[in-house]
Amino acid sequence: MEFKSLTIPEVMLITPRRFGDHRGFFEETYNFDEFSSAGIETVFVQDNHSMSSELGTVRGLHFQAPPKAQAKLVRCGRGRLFDVAVDIRKGSPTFGKWVGAELSFENGCMLLVPAGFAHGFMTLEPDTEIVYKCSDTYAPETEGAIRWDDPDIGIEWPLKPAEVKLSDKDAAALLLSGQESPFTFEDAK
């Protein structure tokens, strides 16, 4: 596997090795020993799989607060998506900044989103599937959300706002400046 830190170094783009022939391919998407050798010792306890039927579906920007904060290892099982992580750790030199990467079935890339980051994605093809591991179980009483189009964050989404499909819950999310982040940079160290 190839592990590459992005402009926010805690967020990593991970590319598994694919072994293919005339029948298809095989790839190992998670191996604790390889991740540990790369300095990632996160233990994952829950796997999720969602499908978005429409092009331009945006889910996020979501997070879970401590004590149920989640790191995520995200990949695309089918289709294509633009995956985003936003640093919401108070006191971080990259607070309110974002990084993103295109994940697709074809490229096989994965994004490691640490706890202390809000996560979201936009589908770039119909019937796109996202598969991801979480470091803690779902706890609705700790979940939070930030508006996908927060102008202070300024995410450069690939599709125009008129093409976006949102849930009512995501459409009602607050701006980052309108809420107190439950994360601090010092706690994350």
Report the catalytic residues: 62, 132
Q: Please choose, from the candidates 73, 78, 84, the residue with its C-alpha nearest in 3D space to the C-alpha of residue 32.
A: 73
**Which positions ≥6 away from 3 have C-beta within 8 Å?**
12, 13, 14, 38, 40
What are 132's two structure tokens? 């991801």
- Contact status, residue 118 vs residue 175, Cβ threshold 8 Å: no
Q: What is the helix (H) or strand (E) element at residue 26, kind and residue range?
A: strand 24-27
Phi-psi region of 93 (alpha: psi -120 to 50; beta: other; left: phi over 0): alpha
Classify residue 51 as exposed, middle or buried by CB count within 10 Å of its CB (0-12, 13-18, 19+): middle
